[in-house]
Every structure is written in C-alpha cells, then in structure tokens.
Amino acid sequence: MNLIRTSFLLLSFFFATSSIKSQELVKSPAPFGPLPTQKQLDWQEMEFYAFVHFSLNTFTNKEWGYGDESPALFNPTHLDVRQWARVVKEAGMKGIILVAKHHDGFCLWPSAYTERSVKNSPWENGKGDLVKELAAACKEYHLKLGLYLSPWDRNHPDYGKPEYITYFRNQLKELLTNYGDVFEMWFDGANGGDGYYGGANETRKINSLEYYNWDETYKLIYKIAPKTLVWGVGPSEARWIGNEEGRAGKTNWSLLRQKDELAGKVHYTEFMSGHEDGERWVPGEADVSIRPGWFYHAVEDDKVRPLDEMVDIYYESIGRNATLLLNLPVDRRGLVHENDVTRLKELVATIQADFKTELLAKSKVTANNVRGNSAEFAAKNVIDGNKETFWATDDNVKTASIEFVFDQPTAIDRILLQEYIKLGQRVKAFTVEAKVNGLWKTIANETTIGYKRILRLDRVVASALRINITDSKAGLVISNIQAYNAPTFVRAPEIQHDKNGTVTITSEPGNSIYYTVDGKKPTLKSKLYQGTFTYNEAVQIKAIAINNEENISSAVNTAKYGISKEKWKVLSVSGGDLKTVNRIIDGNPNTDWGFGNASDKLPLEITLDMGAILKIKGFTYVPQQVGNNLNLISNYEFYTSTDAVNWTRQSEGEFSNIRNNPIEQFKVFKEVKTRYLRFVAVSAVGKGQAVSIAEINVIE
Ligand code: FUL
C-alpha cells in the first residue's frame, strides 16, 4: 500500500514537474503593445453592420436640418422597421445603428426632456417610439442595436451653455437604459455652427474637446451601459476612418495616439492608417452611405453606388482591418428603397462568390520558425478554422515564412490573413510569393495585417504559396490564412459626356463594350461601342463591358445626361481668373475653377446663359474633386431669369456636410422655365474666402 502510494506520489511529482518544464519552455507569447478589450474584440468580429439615417431631413430633403423644422413633417406612410431588419440580416450584417437624433435635434423616441420628438408628429398619432420598435425588430432578427445621438443640436436654445450638457446626458441616459443593450454609441464630430437655437438664429462656436467634458460623459455611459462601445469624439474606443467613402488605408493600425488626438494634434486624414506608435487600441470603422447622401433624396434613386464601388468598399474596409458601417437611407415611406436593396443583394452575392471555396485548408503547411518547436504554435494552426489557435514564432523572431504546398497547381486570386489580435497588432510588412511553373514569383508586397487583411490579386496558378513576414514589432502570432479563387470581376465601363455632347465609354483593355441610348438593358445584341459619338439632347446611356476571354459581363453602368452644355456661356463673374472660368461648364468634374485671389471677396456671383429657355427643377454644384484641402462653398443662393433682367430666387441655404463628404450637391425646387442662371457663393467652409467650382449643372 505504502509502496503504491509512494510511487503514485513520485509519478505525480514527475508529471507535475515535466508539465511545468514544458510550460516554461514554450510559453504562450506575451501580449505586445496596446491590446483590445473583450468589448472591442466582439465589436471587431461583427465586421459589417448597417447605419440608418431617417428623420425630419427625409421629409425636408435636407442633409442637415437647421433646427427650425416642424416635427409635424415626420410622417412616413408605410414605416416597417422589420423590413429594415430583414434586409440587414439577409445581407449578413450583424447590427443596425439608428440615428436617434441628428443635428436638427428631432428625436425618434419620445424623450421626456423635449417636445421636439415623434410625440409631436402625426406618425402613430404621436404615440410612436421608433427606437423601441427598432430595438424589438433587432431582437427578433438577432441583430445588435446601436444608436447615434448628435452632440450638436441646432434646435436647442441652450446649445453652447452648460445646461445643454445636462440635457444631452439626460438623453443619453434615456437611450442607454430604456432599450436594452446598445452595442455602439455614435458621437458625430460635426459640432457647433449656425442654427435656430430656439429662435436665436445665430452661430454658436464651441470647443468640442472641452465643452462636452467627454471624460465625465464617458464615465456616465460606462456606469449605465458598460457593454456599449463608444465611437467618435472624446476618448473613444473606435475611430472614424477619416473619410465618408468607407475606405481604410492599406496600412491600417488599430492603434492611435489618442492623447495627441484629444489635444487637437491629429489631423483626421491620419485616421485612415492609425498610428504605428499609438498608445491605445482604437480600431477604425469605415462609414459610407449606399447613396451619395446620408438621408434619402428621391433625386438620388438612380445614384445608388455602383456594384464596382460597393465591392471596392468592402475590400478596402473589412479587407483592410476596419469594420464597415453601411448606411441605408430609409425613404419617405419608411422603407429601405428597392434600388438600395437590389444593390446590397448584388454586393452580398459577389462577396459570397468570391469566398466560396477555401483553398489552403487541404494544403501542406510548414514554417521556418515555430515557437519552441511546439505543436501548440505550429504552422497548421492557420488553416484549422479555429480562431483561438495560432502559428507563433519565437520571441524576437520578427521575420519568418510560412509555406503552403498544394497537391496540384491551384488558381488563386484572393488571400486573407488574420493576426491573433488579443496579443496585439504586430506585423509591419509582408510579401506573398507564388510558385508558378516551378519558379517563385512575388505577387504582393504589403504592410499591416491586424484583425483581417484581404488581398485582391491577379490570378496565378500556383503549386505552392509562401507568405514572408518581413518586418514586425514582435514575434509573430498569426491565427488564420486563407486563399480563394474569386470569379473574374469585370468592372462596369466608364461613361463620359463632355460640354459638346461627345460620349466616351472606356473599359479595361481586352473588353468589349455594348450600349443603349433608349433606356433598355444592354446585351451582346446591343450596339458595340467603336469610338466616341455625339449626343446633344438629354440622354440616358447604359453600357456593359464583356471580358472576351471568359465571356463574363460587368454590371450595367447607367449615365443620365441633360442637354449638352454646348450653348452655355459664362456671362459674368465677380472675381477669380476669367480665362479659366469655363471649367465650371466644361462637363468635366475633374477640372475646377478657383476664386480666392487677394482681391476676391465673397460673395462670388456667377451668371450663366444656357442659350435657350429650358424647364429646370434644380441645380447641382460639383465641388473641387482633387486634393486634400478643398476650397468648398458652404452657403449659396440660386436665381433664375428668362431675360437676365428680372431674377427670381429659387433656392438658398447650405451645402451641409460638404466638408466631410465633398460630393456633387443637389438642390431641387419647383419646376421653372429659365434661360439665365445666377449662382452666388455666399460663404466658404472655414474662415477663408477661397472657393472653387468643378461644375454647375441643372436638373431637368
Ligand atoms: C456626418 C454628419 O454630419 C452627417 O450628417 C452624417 O450623420 C454622417 C454619418 O456624419 O459627419
């Protein structure tokens, strides 16, 4: 008995010490640098979620309300939040962030702290609560709910004073306690400016870093809603990606020098790539609307972003270590518009086809360094489909290669890589090589990986694949590597129409282009494009490109043009360079005209002659498209006249949000007959006097 007991003790001692030893020998890699919290990890894994902008602006046709619009205007005819949830769920998105209050202060829930809400709208006889309805729909469809509460309130009389902060926090409390879990709280960066402010109609500038006392506000949020991730201004847990086009930088660190940012020392363009030396984990979220505007405008029904662009957005957000927040501007019925639903389905179908069959799982995988030669950190962990296992190298081994050998030559054009970010983001540079016909060739030379990096590559038929990490902050910890052979994606052709009505259609070399001018869908039987042609009347051109080798068609590109601007003339202009002013009517959005010489003072006035009387129902202003510090117009007036003597003002106001989203600005009014147009740039974004115009168009 004693003997047995003694040997048992000895044995257990032996096993205990040996397992301690092996643990000592091959410890898991230590975390490196700033780390994500569990909340941030869960959020990152959502990857793709929806934004909904739907409020008074939907009914006033604005992007930013001034704050004086009546709540009675909020009157959707067929509101169905379950339709939103269905569309979102079917697209594989994981949640919806609803704009509960935009800059005009109108609340989609019956806040106890204001009369400016759905309770004073005809919708559901003032008994409705949109946040509640959406929370229920999200629950039903297993989606997470997020909320946007605009810190800037152009309606509130106390905006700019301490009293407003109490109001703002009270509303936060309502939103974070009455509707269940909120996965993300969204605080927009647009803060302070002109507004109604309870009738004061003035400009109120605030210092957004100080006024809101974000530290206190964040404390309050975490106290009542610890599961909520806070985005945007203040010491946030995720950052804006620096543009409203949904594109992250190729290099994208989930780190940020947030202290510098909070001291106002970081330019927003740096958000696209984060900071390699950031002291905090603040990952990027790429936000973009499926249409040009964030709110619904009927005039944009045919301006839903083309499939090519949506696919690019997917690869340049989720494929570049960011999450993708895609806005669906709900229309006046209260539904996601059919055109948006169609495009979303096309996007999802394309992405699903791209990632249909994974090709590395069956390959033979080896690495030239494995941490402690331990099976626990072996190369094969990157193909086991388990996100908790990883290939790791020895500490300080910052360059290493992992190789995948196929049974037979395999066609590949996508590679997906993931670091095990629980232990930090490490990789600074890597290359990809493919063995083609017995020879290694480099097919990619890239920088960061992070949570997820997807490469779109020209197709190769390879017998083996090698990933070389060429620079890293610390030993490597890679959890997943995949490869796919996505179908050839043929980009839709580009259509251009110049001032003289000349139409040029272009596509990638080797493709054929077919087009129609009668609104019908082009097919292989339509007209083959063989060079430029001229169209002076209003025309709708639809074109497809065909990849001849594989006989694959692109999506249809539709371009609508009004009558050509051939007869247009600039009659007068109150400053700027007269020699180049024709650029604003040359039909080319990439050439712009600048106003802002030393002697130029706003307002700028331009008078145009269209050469004939036409019926128009609006105009558009295309701002300068090229560059970083664009000279943008913020406020305008627009007049029409049939004789250039008597003028009628048709529209005036602001180009809201143009700073963040400098796209073509649409302004509609009641149809009017006119020959002459007068466009007045009243003020510029920022303090300067410099503005520029790429194009002025009319809406017929
Ligand atoms: C911007 C806002 O000003 C826009 O109106 C929109 O809400 C967008 C998501 O953020 O900065």
Residues enclosing ligand 1, CB less than 6 A? 63-64, 188-190, 287, 294, 657, 660
The pair of structure tokens assigned to 577 is: 């360079």
Output the CA 131–ligand 1 centroid distance in Å.
19
Atom of ligand 1 nearest to the CA of 295: 5
6 belongs to a structural domain: no
Closest atom of ligand 1 to 150 CA is: 7
User: Residues near 43 by Cβ (< 8 Å), separated by ≥ 6?
Assistant: 183, 184, 229, 237, 238, 283, 323
Residue 679 lies in a domain: yes
Give the Å distance between the CA of 457 and the centre of ligand 1.
34
Are 540 and 659 found together in one domain? no
Measured in Å, residue 246 CA sits from the centre of ligand 1 at 13
Share in percent of the chain as helix, strand, coil (round to 5): 25, 35, 45
Residue with the two structure tokens 């996508």: 414
Q: Are residues 156 and 269 both part of a single domain?
A: yes
> Cα 318 vs. chain centroid, distance in angstroms?
10
Residues 635 and 556 in one domain: no
pLDDT of residue 563: 75
Collapsed DSSP state (helix, strand, coil) of residue 564: coil
Do 339 and 217 belong to one domain?
yes
Answer yes or no: do 670 and 632 share one domain: yes
Domain count, the chain: 4
The tokens for 195 are 């507004």
DSSP H/E element including 554: none
Q: What is the DSSP letter of 164?
A: H
d(CA 48, CA 322): 9
C-alpha separations of 61 from 65, 73, 78, 139, 535 in Å: 9, 11, 18, 31, 32
The CATH code of the domain that includes 537 is 2.60.40.10
Task: Kindly give the pairing relationship between strand 453-472 and strand 400-419.
Answer: antiparallel
DSSP string, 276-313: TT-SEE--EEEEEESSSSSS--GGGTT-SPPHHHHHHH
Residue 636 CA to residue 650 CA, distance in Å, equals: 11
Q: Residue whose CA is closest, atom 6 of ligand 1? A: 294
Which pLDDT does position 16 carry in this prediction? Answer: 39
Looking at this protein, which amino acid is placed at residue 454? I
**Within a domain: residue 178?**
yes
Nearest CA to ligand 1 atom 10: 188
**Burial, 517: exposed, middle or buried (Cβ in 10 Å; 0-12, 13-18, 19+)?**
middle
My answer on whether omega of the bond before 662 falls inside 30° of 0, hence cis, is no
Domain co-membership, 548 together with 581: no
| Polymer length in residues for the chain | 700
Of 436, 466, 484, the domain-final residue: 484
Residues 417 and 373 in one domain: yes
Domain extent, residue 430, equals: 364-484
d(CA 631, CA 574): 17
Of 99, 556, 150, nearest to 328 by C-alpha is: 99
Measure the CA–CA gap between 75 and 601, rounded to whole angstroms: 42
Task: Return d(Cα 168, Cα 174) in angstroms, integer.
Answer: 10
Say whether both 296 and 332 belong to one domain.
yes
Choose which residue among 243, 287, 632, 657 to substitute to test ligand 1 binding: the one with the highest number of ligand atoms within 8 A of its C-beta: 657
The answer on 684 and 629 residing in a single domain is yes
Angle at which helix 307-317 crosses helix 338-354, to 10 degrees, equals 60
Q: Among 97, 294, 328, which is best to mutate for testing ligand 1, by the most ligand atoms less than 8 A from CB?
A: 294
Q: How far apart are CA 266 and CA 255, in angstroms?
A: 13
Pick from 330, 354, 378: which residue ends a domain? 354
Q: What is the identity of the amino acid at 558? A: T
pLDDT value of position 20: 38
* Angle separating helix axes 338-354 and 81-90, nearest 10 degrees: 20
**What are the two backbone dihedrals, phi and then psi, of residue 643, each rounded to the nearest 5 degrees?**
-130, 5
In a domain, residue 104? The reply is yes
Query: Distance between the two ends of the chain, CA-based, in angstroms?
Result: 101
CB of 451 closer than 8 Å to CB of 388: no
Do the domain assignments include residue 32? no
User: Measuring CA to CA, which residue among 575, 585, 635, 578 is closest to residue 609?
Assistant: 585
Q: Which atom of ligand 1 is the closest one to the Cα of 327?
A: 9
Count Cβ atoms within 10 A of the Cβ of residue 274 and give its class: 0-12 exposed, 13-18 middle, 19 or more buried. Answer: buried
| Cross-strand partners of 471 | 429
Distance (angstroms) between ligand 1 centre and the Cα of 64 equals: 8
- Provide the strand spans (E) within 420-488: 427-436, 439-446, 453-472, 477-484
Ligand 1 atom at minimum distance from 99 CA? 7
What is the predicted pLDDT for the residue at 589?
Answer: 82
> 276-310 as b/e, with b when 16 or more CB fall inside 10 Å?
eebebbbbbbbbbbbbbbbbbbebbeebbbbbbbb
Tokens at residue 334, please? 């209260």
pLDDT in the model for residue 17: 38
Q: Please report the pLDDT score of residue 627 as a whole number.
A: 66
pLDDT for 11 = 44
Indicate whether 143 and 218 sit together in one domain.
Answer: yes
Which residue intervals of 541-687 are DSSP H helices? none
Residue 9 lies in a domain: no
Closest C-alpha to 215, from 181, 171, 259, 149: 259
Q: Which long-range contacts (CB under 8 A, 24 or more apart) does 161-169 make?
A: 165/211, 165/212, 165/213, 165/217, 167/113, 167/114, 168/212, 168/217, 169/217, 169/220
Q: How much distance in Å is there from the Cα of 327 to the middle of ligand 1?
A: 11
d(CA 208, CA 234): 9
- Looking at residue 641, which CATH number applies to its domain? 2.60.120.260
CATH number at residue 285: 3.20.20.80
Per-residue DSSP letter, 203? E
Radius of gyration for the chain, computed over Cα atoms and rounded to the nearest angstrom? 29
Residues 303 and 382 in one domain: no
Could you identify the atom of ligand 1 that is nearest to the CA of residue 287? Answer: 9
Alpha carbon 590 to chain centroid distance? 22
* Å from CA of 661 to ligand 1 middle: 9
Beta-bridge partners for 132 = none
Cα 657 to middle of ligand 1, angstroms: 7
Q: Burial letters for 105-137: b for 16+ Cβ neighbours within 10 Å, e otherwise?
A: bbbbbbbeebebbbbbbebeeeebbbbbbbbbb
241 domain-assigned: yes
Final residue belonging to a domain, choices 325, 354, 383:
354
Assign 559 to helix, strand or coil.
strand
Q: Check whether residue 325 and residue 381 sit in a common domain.
A: no
Mean per-residue pLDDT pooled into runs of 10, the chain (700 residues)? 44 41 73 98 98 97 94 97 98 98 98 98 98 98 98 97 98 98 95 94 91 95 97 96 97 98 94 98 98 93 94 98 98 97 97 98 98 97 97 96 98 98 98 98 98 98 98 98 97 91 94 96 96 89 95 92 86 90 88 86 95 94 79 95 96 90 90 97 87 92
pLDDT in the model for residue 112: 98
Does residue 329 fall inside a structural domain?
A: yes
